[in-house]
A and B are shown apart, each in its own frame.
Chain A
Amino acid sequence: MIDLIRNYWLYFLVGQYPQGPLGGLALTLLLGVAALGLALPLGVVLGLARTSSHRVIRWPVTALVYVVRGTPLLMVIFWAYFFLPAITGQQTSQFNTMLAALVLFNGAYLAEIVRAGIQGIPRGQSECARALGLGYWQSMRAVILPQALRNMLPSLVAQFVTTLKETSLGYIIGLSEVSFIAGQINAQVLTKPVAVYTILALTYFVLCFGLSRIVRLLEKRTQRSSVVMP
C-alpha cells in the first residue's frame, strides 16, 4: 500500500496536471465547490418561487422540481451530456456537463429544503415584517431567510455531503475526477483493487466528515441567537 501511495499520489491528487488537464481529487473538490456554490442560490430562488402566491411563478417551478426529483441523477447527467451540445450548438466540456447536471439536480432538492424552511417560520413573522412596512424582498432577506436558513442547516449539510459524493458519477462521462483516476490506477496496478478502492473510500469519508464537522462548528457559533421564541 505504501508503494501504491508513493507511486501514484500525485496522479491521485491532480491527475495528469500539469502535462494534461487537471483531474483527481483537485477536480473533485473544484466540481463539488462549484456545484454547491451554484446550486444553493438556485435552490433559494426555486424555493422562493415554490412559496410564491403567483401561480405563473409557482406552477412551472413546481413542475420542474417534481420532474428532476423523480429522475435518477444518472439520467440527468446523460441528458446534460447529449442535450447541452444540441441546445448550445457547441461541444460542452465534461466538467461543465457534470456541473450543469449537479446544479440542476441539487437545485431541485435544495428548493424543497428551502421551501420547508420558509414555511416552517411562523406566519406572524412575515405578517409583522410587512406590517412594519418592509417589502416582500426586504422581509425575506432581513427576517425570514436568516431564520429559515439556520433551521435548514442540518438538511443543507446532508445535501452538500450528497453532492460531494455525487461528483463521482462524473466517471460515467469520462470526467477524470478522483473515482475515475482511482479506476485508472487500479487498471495499471491490476493486483491491488482493495487497497486502491479503500484509499478512495477513505478520501471521500474524510471530505464528507470534514464538511459535516465544519458546519457543526458554524452552527455552534451562531447558536447564541438561534433560540426559538417561546
Chain B
Amino acid sequence: MIEFRNVTKFYGSFRALDDVTETIARGEVVVICGPSGSGKSTLIRTINRLEPIDSGQILLDGEDIHRPGLDVDRFRSGIGFVFQQFNLFPHLSVLENCTLAPMKVRGLSEAAARERALALLERVGLAGKAQSYPAQLSGGQQQRVAIARALAMEPPLMLFDEPTSALDPEMVSEVLLVIRDLAHKGQTLVIVTHEMGFAREVADRIFFMDEGRILERASPEDFFERPQHPRARQFLSDLRSPFARSV
C-alpha cells in the first residue's frame, strides 16, 4: 500500500531521513519506535505530505505522492492523521469537528455527515459529548474525538503520530483501546508511539528507527526478545531501566 524508495530528507544540514526503503501492506499494523529525533515523526508526516522530501519516492497504491501537480487535498482526504496535540478545532463543537471535512471535502449532506459522526462518536465512547466544545473535554476524550474526526473521512489508511504522548498517564489506555479496536477490524495503521506494551500487542511489524534510518524491522516477538541491532538492544535495555515505564 505504501512504498518508500530511497527516501531522504534534510532539515538544513541535518539528515532527518536517510535513504529509507520499505513497504507497508494493506491491512498491516506497523508501529514505529525509536529514540527522540530518530526520524519517526518525520517519516510518518511524509506519508501525507505534511513534510516534503528531498529525494526518493513515496508511492501510495502505486502513485507517487510527492510529484508536483498531484491533487494534494483529494489525496490527503484518504489518509487519516491523528496528531500528538489532538488539534481539535476549538471554535467548533465535537459534532461539528467531525462533520466539517465530510461535508466540505466529500460533499456529504449535513444529515448524512451527522449520522456518520454520531456513529463514530458512539464507537469511541463519546456519543454523549457531541454538543460539547473541545475545551470542555479531557485530553483523552479530545484525542478520541480526533480519531473519530479522522475516521469520518473513511480513510483506507490511518496514521498516528505519538497519539498518547501529550496525555496524562491515566488517560493513555482509553485512547489505546480505541486504536486497538481499529487494528482488530483490519484497518491499515501506522503508529509512532513510545507505548511498548501496546506496540507488542497490536503490531504486525515493528520498525526501529535511529538517525533517520530503519535499523530493524521485525515481528513484535522477535523485536522484544531477539533484537538484532546494537542500537535496538540499547534502546530496549534503556526502556527496562528502573525508572522507565515497564515493557
Interface residues of chain A, those whose CB is within 8 Å of chain B, are: 122, 124-125, 127-135, 138, 142-143, 146-147, 150, 224-230
Contact = CB atoms under 8 A, between A and B. Distances in A.
B55 to A, nearest CB: 22
Interface in B131-150: 133-135, 139, 142, 149-150
Contacts of B15: none
Interface in B71-86: 72-74, 76-79, 81, 83, 85-86
Given A227-B133, A229-B134, A132 B105 contact: yes
Interface of B: 48, 50, 72-74, 76-79, 81, 83, 85-93, 100-101, 104-105, 133-135, 139, 142, 149-150, 153
Contacts of A150: 91
Contact of B73 (A122, A124, A133, A224): A133
A125 B86 CA distance: 9
Contacts, number: 79
B101 A133 contact: yes
Nearest to B149: A132
B80 to A, nearest CB: 8
A125 B74 contact: no
B73 A134 contact: yes
Contacts of B77: 132-133
Contact of A131 (B76, B86, B88, B135): B76
Contact of B150 (A132, A143, A147): A132
A133 B150 CA distance: 10
B138 to A, nearest CB: 10
